[in-house]
């Protein structure tokens, strides 16, 4: 009985490993194929009349570690180890079928935390396009379906830059939620709803940040230049804040 259970256990994990490997290869192939169309070509389809594209790009590709991984990696290893320990013992001890079944979701969650989330994060970044125009910020994601998010430059009040030593970094538009500090958007499906819009892990982040700030100042100047009836004192009062 125990030998049969052990064979079943090994066979199940062998199949799981094969499926995980094939899923990873498929995700990589799809991500690479999505990079054939340049970011500029994708963004040009969404530009309004008279709108100019100032910068376009994507996140850095491949598996990337973040500051939150200092907590998530040990936690995920501990979770996955305990879940596998439970499942192995349930099979070896001939536990009822319910107890054997009970541990499988926890093992799957643990394997995703240890391995799968890095594939999910890389796949999501590979299918996200960023753009800066003279009027707005554009973020286009196509994980399951293509979604477009536009942020008018004149309405952006909180722009932050987190830069790495190699010049790459993340530009965030808006305040950061506590949940996003504990687990980034790529840590688990659905975590992106807690994250503010951002240019995630882009190259030459400081240069892009300067482009955004200059475009924002130009948009602000053009807006006030068109509204000639606005009292000068209001313009002077608002100027230092921008």
Query: What tens digit of pLDDT does each residue of 106-136 get?
Result: 888 888 888 888 888 888 888 899 999 999 9
pLDDT of residue 22: 45
pLDDT of residue 205: 94
* CA 188/CA 147 separation, integer angstroms: 19
pTM for the whole thing?
0.68
pLDDT of residue 227: 46
Is 226 inside a domain boundary?
Answer: no
pLDDT in tens, 17-45: 445 544 554 554 444 444 446 888 888 88
pLDDT of residue 152: 93
Evaluate if residue 52 carries a pLDDT over 90. yes
Is 238 inside a domain boundary?
Answer: no
pLDDT of residue 178: 60
Is 240 inside a domain boundary?
Answer: no
Evaluate if residue 56 carries a pLDDT over 80. yes
Evaluate if residue 212 carries a pLDDT over 60. yes
Q: SS3 string of the chain?
A: CHHHHHHHHHHHHHHHHHHHHHHHHHHHHHHHHHCCCCHHHHHHCCCCCCCCEEEEECECCCCCCCCCHHHHHHHHHHHHHHHHHHHHHHHHCCCCHHHHHHHHHHHHHHHHHHHHHHHHHHHHHHCEEEEEECCEEEEEEECCCEEEEEEEHHHCCCEEEEECCCCCEEEEECCCCHHHHHCCHHHCCCHHHHCCCEEEEECCHHHHHHHHHHHHHHHHHHHHHHCCCCCHHHHHHHHHHC
* Residue (of 98, 71, 78, 86) closest to 187 by Cα position: 71
Is 230 inside a domain boundary?
Answer: no
Is 166 inside a domain boundary?
Answer: yes
Is 84 inside a domain boundary?
Answer: yes
Give 242 or 100, the one with higher predicted confidence: 100
Is 145 inside a domain boundary?
Answer: yes
Is 76 inside a domain boundary?
Answer: yes
pLDDT in tens, 74-87: 888 988 888 888 88
Evaluate if residue 59 carries a pLDDT over 50. yes
pLDDT in tens, 155-210: 888 899 989 898 999 999 987 766 555 555 555 565 656 678 899 999 999 999 99
Q: How many domains is the chain built from?
A: 1
Give the residue numbers spanning the domain of 14.
2-221
């Amino acid at each position: 009985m125990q030998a049969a259970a052990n064979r079943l256990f090994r066979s199940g994990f062998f199949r799981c490993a094969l499926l995980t490997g094939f899923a990873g290869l498929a995700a990589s192939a799809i991500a690479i194929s999505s990079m054939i169309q340049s970011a500029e070509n994708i963004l040009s389809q969404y530009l309004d009349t008279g709108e100019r594209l100032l910068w376009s790009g994507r996140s850095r590709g491949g598996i990337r570690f973040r500051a939150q991984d200092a907590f998530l990696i040990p936690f995920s290893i501990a979770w996955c180890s305990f879940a596998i320990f439970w499942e192995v013992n349930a099979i070896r001890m001939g536990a009822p079928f319910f107890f054997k079944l009970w541990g499988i979701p926890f093992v799957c969650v643990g394997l995703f935390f240890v391995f799968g989330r890095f594939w999910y994060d890389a796949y999501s970044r590979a299918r996200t396009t960023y753009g800066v125009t003279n009027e707005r910020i554009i973020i286009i994601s196509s994980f399951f379906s293509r979604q477009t998010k536009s942020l008018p430059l004149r309405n952006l009040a909180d722009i932050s830059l987190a830069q790495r030593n190699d010049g790459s970094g993340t530009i965030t538009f808006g305040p950061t939620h506590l949940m996003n500090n504990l687990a980034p958007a790529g840590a688990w499906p659905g975590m992106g709803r807690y994250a503010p819009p951002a240019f995630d892990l882009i190259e030459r982040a400081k240069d892009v940040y300067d482009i955004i700030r200059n475009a924002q100042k130009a948009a602000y100047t053009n807006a006030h230049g068109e509204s000639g009836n606005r009292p000068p004192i209001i313009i002077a009062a608002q100027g230092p804040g921008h």
